[in-house]
Amino acid sequence: MAFMILLFLLHSHLFPILAYQYSPASSREIAVDCGSNVTSATTDGREWIGDVPSEFTRSPLLRGSSISSSAVDMADADPVPYRYARISRFQFSYVFQEVSPGQKCIRLHFNPVSYRGFGMYRDLFIVEAGRSTLLGNFSASLTADALGLKYFVKEFWITVEENQTLRIKFSPARSLLRDTYAFVNGIEIIDRPTSLYYTRDNRLGAQLIGHNFRVLLDSSTVLEMVHRLNIQEESVSQANSSGMLHSRTTRKTNKINFFAWSVPVDVGFGYLVRLHLSEVQNYMEVSGIMEFSVLINGKIADTKVDSARGRSHNDIHCYRDYVVMMNGNEQEGKRDLVIALKSRSGLSDGPLAGLEILKLSNLNNSLSSLDPLPPSQSSSSRSLRESILLLVSYHGNAVASIVVAVMTLTTLVNYKLHKIAEAKWKKQSALTGGLRRFSLHEMQSATDNFRHTHIGKGGFGNVYRGLIDDGRNRVAMKKLAFGSHQGEREFWNEVKALSRLRHANVVSLIGYCYESEEMILVYELMPLGTLAANLFKNNTTDNSLSWEQRLRICIGAARGLDYLHSNGVIHRDVKCSNILLDDKFRAKISDFGFAKLGETMQLHSHVNTRIVGTNGYLDPDYMRTQRLTKKSDVYSFGVVLFEVLSGKRAVNSRGQDNQPDLISWARGHIHNKDIDQIVEPCLRGNMSVKCLKDFVEISEKCLHDEPEKRPTMVQVVAMLEFLLEEHVAGKSKSEMVQNHMAGDRGTQHPEAPLGGTQPKILEASTRGAQVCVGGSSSSSKQFTLRPRKQFQRSKALTFSDGPCHRFSKSRIENATENFSPKCLIISNGFYEIYAGSYMSFGTNITIARFICAEERISDVRKELEMLSKLYHPNLACIIGYCCGDNGEISIVYEYAGDNTLLHYLETSVLSWKIRLFICMGVAQGLDYLHMRTGKTIIHGDVSPSIIFLDKGWHAKPLNVNDPARTWQTSRELQNMPPDFTYPTKFTEKSDVYLFGMLLLEVLCREYLHDYLLPDRFRQAIKKKALERIIDPYLDGKIQAESLCEFLKVAFSCLQLEQVDRPPMDSVVFCLEEALWLQHNAEIHSLKDNENQDGFTLDNVYRELRHFAAITLQNNQQSGITSSR
């Protein structure tokens, strides 16, 4: 009977709770103490209502199956709202029906402890508000452990529309683990002004870092408060309030101050960074100025920010907003968002009052990111209490009692054994953090039983290359040297370290194998090996790393170390051989066998420990005192910086006693004031004197004899990023370090066959943003900013003789079916372009064929070899060539696209946004040729017939002209007036003119060999009849201000005098603005061709008539007569 009563009680307790109506006491603020049935007050007097209905409370509407449960151990948590929880293994939700429309701040409170009937580390759930996902695969237990907190709050910002109810839904996540559950302790809903974080009316929006876009944050965007920091109130603990590391350094030599904040954030999302600026009158009287520069993730966000400018006398506070995209694969986990300030005015915290970082929802209206799964706990088949109850219920039958007693004893033994095994499992799970565990058989199969796959030697064993998951994934496996007790300690140390660390600049540990005394660590494979292998090649002039690559590698490694330090990890063995490079030369810290783990430590805290590490990198203070601090890693990193600069090892590997170590050698040159002798010969001539001096200064700071005077790693990151920004901008081109070894610049860059300076082949430009554009203007409402993926040569078209392969004539003929007419795409009298198929590699290619003068063939070959080293998403990539008979040359490209822009203009209907996107892509490709390769490269034939488009509408112009006759065959001469004598020397501004013609042709959807086309547009503007020349399909579908911006760009490009034409980077900026204006108008829907600011076609005619009149006047003054 007792047993039946127990079952009834359990069944009643788990039955879904009935729905109750909610009527808020205040429409301004709602606070729900989840699981409670009374109204309670906190110490600050705030009232929290319970969610269990009673005659004294007005609770929200509850849906689904859930129960109220109390915490087993309250520890230090406040009773309200952390004593009770609404908890369930099934989906449940709160419905707030009378919430007023507008922006709401939702605060979710979590106290992840054991609750009655629910153990820790099994919480794994999804939280949704309306159609938005706030949390996905979220474990409050693991989050609290990672943050080192007992309880915490997650804060979100969401908009409730008119006549809309607010539903907050909690759903246990599907998992391999059983009995996962969802819970919440408290919910707050607070009214906030709509303009608090969203873009106000008539405002431009927040600047997108690294782009010329401004981002409008409207009510459809959901926000999550990631970090909030109040800088000017010292009572606020920075570590506890925000989790951010705030540090500063002063460069006394030139009075430059650095301030930096670093915080790890989820990859794959955008973030709103708000800097709060306050006017401090006393400070202004002392310093006289409050200006500083802002750098976010290595990109300059603002220069000379003045907190006092632009405010009225009564303003006491203002802020600056920026949006930064943390692009990448979500599998990377977290990456540092670094905010740095730079000032020359002796600035302290001064005008910066605080900062906030908010996460922006993605295209799926989700804030969900990848979180590690909680540890699984196997539950026994029957609890001890249930066994005892069974024994009591059958006491009337002696035989049955004996049987039940035996069953009970067996259950008790199993229960105890289970608890012992569970405790052991918990310990290992805490150590490995849910890493994948491989069997020894899997490891042997992945490496062919460790034969022929050896690729190196790690800290405690050999490293092998392997394939897992049926050959789908390549990995690196580090195998413990058999019988090494020291190696076993390092093995578990590395597992413990990497199981809790996830960062783009820290090598990822996929799993491990611990079986039959074999210990193996499984990592992601780093294709380019170690930094040491790339720096210290036997032939230092062969494919050596460029200076920009080295700077980026140093920044990546510094970010990795900063992440480790902010998570309480000291590496203890920082060196070039422990910095790995992936296929994009991205640096990742590896080998954590010597790492010292602990709770997050203060900057200057230390531990006493035995000395481990590598000679040449060891901190002298650490060796002398055995006091280990994070600054010991900083010293080792300083050694790495000098290795990167000099190309020399820290310690002479040949063991010659008369050769000093690297640091002593470098300091000797610094003392003698000949620091240029430290630079590796292949780098001389590729960096400015200022850049060299600053880099050496950073290195010396890291190597300071006194640890407390060394910078933190976040400061090192900030200084290196400023250095890279200045290097790329080329601010000191006239002060190049002299090359004391003539002719020894290596073969990293090709010789310049057409004269000029040595070209520096840079990485593909990522300046442009990818735009989601539909087939028509009406169908492309969504506008997203996604920087392009880094452009790479197809691995299927890689040849042993380098990037520019020489094809045989027979292969070219086979690829084009002997130049069959059915493969012909373009023939214009100067060249022919064919679509080909390269059967040997099973891929398509594009081939351009033209005739070249015999004496020019050698120069053309050199030119093609140089061009084949250029990579950009908006250029057709040259992979080789073929020299035929009678001067015939065929240029072979990777497949450029399905067809040309001309084809689509003649046969398809393209929306205005697609056309803008195509033009912007062409502009970015030309900008790369003109400005980003170290020398000016001229295209010479910018026309719709030569611009190919792929399936994503990315423009890829082909360059098929013989450089010797570029100016003669140029389309610019065809579109110039016949009585105008053009100089025989082509320049990059000639490309700009051709691009202006292209813009007009795209707008009117005609391919016109007509030099009067610009004048036809001017006449249409004068007569207010643009609809007569613009593509009829676009009538009424172009936002007026976007059209005005577009035509201003076109007329600027068509200026007769080359000096008056803009550079292509300015053109890109203006086209991005035109695209943004069009997008913004489509969001609010086009009505009578008028935008929210009242900008109409009349404004277009007014502005362009003046603009076009100036252009026409300049042309007529130069002797040009225009007629229709």
Please give the annotated binding residues for ATP, written as ranges: 478
Which residue, among 944, 937, 958, has the nearest Cα to 845 in the 3D structure? 958
Q: 590 by DSSP, 3-state: which?
A: coil
Find out whether 82 and 74 touch, Cβ atoms under 8 Å. Answer: yes
Alpha helices in 885-987 (DSSP H): 901-907, 912-931, 966-969, 971-975
Find out whether 1064 and 930 touch, Cβ atoms under 8 Å. Answer: yes
**Distance (Å, whole) CA 71 – CA 151:** 12
Find out whether 682 and 748 touch, Cβ atoms under 8 Å. Answer: yes
Find out whether 75 and 114 touch, Cβ atoms under 8 Å. Answer: no
Other Cβ atoms less than 10 A from the Cβ of 350: the count is: 26
746: left (phi over 0), alpha (psi -120 to 50) or beta: left
Contact residues for 532 (Cβ-Cβ < 8 A; gap 6+): 575, 576, 577, 579, 649
Catalytic entry in 51, 123, 336, 573: 573
Greatest Cα-to-Cα distance within the chain, rounded to the nearest angstrom: 122
The sign one gets for the Cα dihedral 159, 164, 168, 174 is: negative
Q: Residues at the annotated binding site?
A: 478
Contact residues for 197 (Cβ-Cβ < 8 A; gap 6+): 103, 157, 217, 223, 272, 274, 358
Which residue, among 807, 911, 928, has the nearest Cα to 867 in the 3D structure? 928
Which residue, among 230, 185, 222, 177, has the nearest Cα to 70 in the 3D structure? 185
**Distance (Å, whole) CA 481 – CA 1025:** 82
**Distance (Å, whole) CA 268 – CA 786:** 10
694 is catalytic: no
Other Cβ atoms less than 10 A from the Cβ of 938: the count is: 22
Q: 238 by DSSP, 3-state: which?
A: helix
Q: State the DSSP string of 1007-1061.
A: ----TTHHHHHHHHHHTT-GGGTS-GGGTTTS-HHHHHHHHHHHHHHT-SSGGGS
Per DSSP (E only), the strands in 327-450 are 334-343, 352-360, 436-437
Ramachandran angles phi, psi of 617, nearest 5°: -115, -10
Find out whether 1068 and 1052 touch, Cβ atoms under 8 Å. Answer: no
Ramachandran angles phi, psi of 35, nearest 5°: 90, -15
Using alpha carbons only, how large is the chain's radius of gyration in Å?
Answer: 34
For the chain, the 3-state helix, strand and coil shares in percent, each to the nearest 5, are: 35, 25, 45
**Distance (Å, whole) CA 1014 – CA 1001:** 10
Contact residues for 712 (Cβ-Cβ < 8 A; gap 6+): 245, 247, 249, 562, 565, 603, 630, 634
Q: Please work out, in degrees rounded to the nearest 5, the angle formed at the alpha carbon of residue 1039 by the alpha carbons of 1034 and 1042.
A: 105
The interaxial angle of helices 630-646 and 662-671, nearest 10 deg, is 70
Which residue, among 738, 682, 762, 742, has the nearest Cα to 935 in the 3D structure? 762
For residue 577, give the DSSP letter. Answer: G
Which residue, among 21, 61, 57, has the nearest Cα to 39 in the 3D structure? 57
User: Tokens for 918?
Assistant: 């195509």
Catalytic residues: 573
